Copies of this chain bind each other. A is one copy, B any other.
Amino acid sequence: MLAAARTAFAERGFDGATIRGIATAAGVDPALVHHYFGSKDKLFLAAVEAPADPDEVLPAVLAAGRDELGASAVRMLLSLWDGPARPAGLALIRSAVSNEWTAKLLREFLVAKVVGRVVGTLGYSDEERDARGALVASQLIGLVMIRYVLCAEPIASASHESLIAAIGPNVQRYLTGELEPPAPARPRPHPPS
């Protein structure tokens, strides 16, 4: 049941998936879905929140040394997305793009619970942590978009090792490289005085 919902949300996004379709895919009656979950929103939350617990995988990422964090993050992302977490991840992304409240869900999950926590171990100021975290997120989401959403070659079929070797160093630069703080706001054109 939840598996069918996850699959449907992953393939068509929140707005595109239908309760009727999910119910028939699961071999049950559409009315049962409402009986169990109450609404489409709650069904989505139940389908997506189950397999997305960062506490289970973050320690493995952080176990890498400071200079291997980038490669470690890419490796974890690939092993999750090429494992059982892909439907939930696709459901989140496909839904977030056209639906405001799922976008908020993804944004907060991603920034606060995942990337922020990884960058948070590096001892930066809050501003720099958020800036570096957003840069890391941009590369990782881009990888997900190309490999799993748009399915553009050769990245869609590339091996984990080759992607880690190609992308890991770039993520590493965002994490620990020297870079001017990506100004949170416009570099004030003319200071107050």
Stretch touching chain B among A22-30, A60-68, A168-176: A168-176
Check: A58 CB closer than 8 A to any chain B CB. no
Contact, CB under 8 Å: A149 / B97:
yes
A50 adjacent to chain B (CB < 8 Å) = no
CA distance A181 to B150 in the complex (A): 21
Q: Could you say which interface size class chain A belongs to?
A: 35 or more
The CA-CA distance from A142 to B169 in the complex, in Å, is 16
Number of copies of this protein chain within its complex: 2
Determine whether A85 belongs to the interface, using a CB cutoff of 8 Å to chain B: no
Chain A interface residues (CB < 8 Å from chain B): 12-13, 15-16, 93-94, 96-98, 103, 106-107, 110-111, 127, 130-131, 134-135, 137-143, 145-147, 149-155, 157-159, 161-163, 165-167, 169-170, 173-174, 179-187
